[in-house]
Amino acid sequence: MKKKHISRKNFLKQAGLGFVLTPLAAINMATSSKEDNDIQDTSKCGYTNSAAAGPFYVKNSPESVNINFTNLPGTPMKITGKVLGGKGGSKPIKDAKIEVWHCDHKGKYHPQGSGDISNYDDAEIALRGTVFTDENGAYAFHSIKPGVYYGRRRHIHYKITAKGYKPLITQSYWLDEKGNQRERNDRTDRNTEDCRYIDFRDLGKDGWVGAFDIHLEKV
């Protein structure tokens, strides 16, 4: 039986104003934190740096604001942000395509393979999906907090494509885990710039919310 993946438009319609307001609140919260912590001031970051795609990138993942559409167990996590044009620029990029994937709370990917989504059964697909930016360059998705596995710190993968801009494959990390032993032992994506560390906030029953802005370079 085929899963029913939720598109951005249908998800927002089903969820009502509660979900629409939550990402905006998270963005405002992250903005206020910038006054206290320059590490979250993305205007100082320049272009977002690339990082390895890893062995488990699958093309044509479904469009779904909820990328935990199989309801795997874990701590709820919401990420909001903007895709912006130029080095430290503020030009919103509309209709940027953001492919997202990460492991589950035990460190396993679904699937543990690559290729095209059509090569896998629905039951093999989880914690990966595609979202698009709106007219303000904003995007949002929610999932569960990924676990860790041997040799890697906790992370999320992204592939971003937008007309007129260079495609980008990158990863984001947890600010409160920066500099810990696991990160020091992680040989992947060394010298990560500050703005790829997400400063998550605990919203109680709504889980953890963080903001990740992405800056693309023009072609």
pLDDT tens, residue order, the chain (219 aa)? 444 444 444 433 333 323 333 333 333 333 333 333 333 555 677 899 999 998 899 999 999 999 999 999 999 999 999 999 976 667 999 999 999 999 999 999 999 999 999 999 999 999 999 999 999 999 999 999 999 999 999 999 999 999 999 999 999 999 999 999 999 999 999 999 999 999 999 988 878 999 999 999 999
Which residue from 50, 25, 87, 44 is spatially nearest to 171, judged by alpha carbons? 50
What's the pTM value of the predicted model, to 2 decimals? 0.82
pLDDT of the residue at 119: 96
**pLDDT at residue 42, rounded to an integer:** 57
pLDDT of residue 39: 39
Tokens 């890697």 identify what position?
152
Backbone angles phi, psi at 94, to 5 degrees: -80, 145
Under DSSP, is residue 184 helix (H, G, I), strand (E, B) or coil? helix
User: Can you tell me the distance from the alpha carbon of 212 to that of 81, in angstroms, rounded to the nearest whole number?
Assistant: 5
Question: Which residues lie across from 142 on neighbouring strands?
Answer: 66, 78
* pLDDT recorded at residue 43: 60
First to last CA, the chain: 42
What pLDDT shows up at residue 16? 32
Question: Among 7, 218, 9, which residue's Cα sits nearest to residue 93?
Answer: 218
Residue-level pLDDT at 5:
45
Half-sphere exposure of 60 (CA within 13 A, CB side): 7
CA-closest candidate to residue 27, choices 134, 139, 135: 139
pLDDT for 37? 38
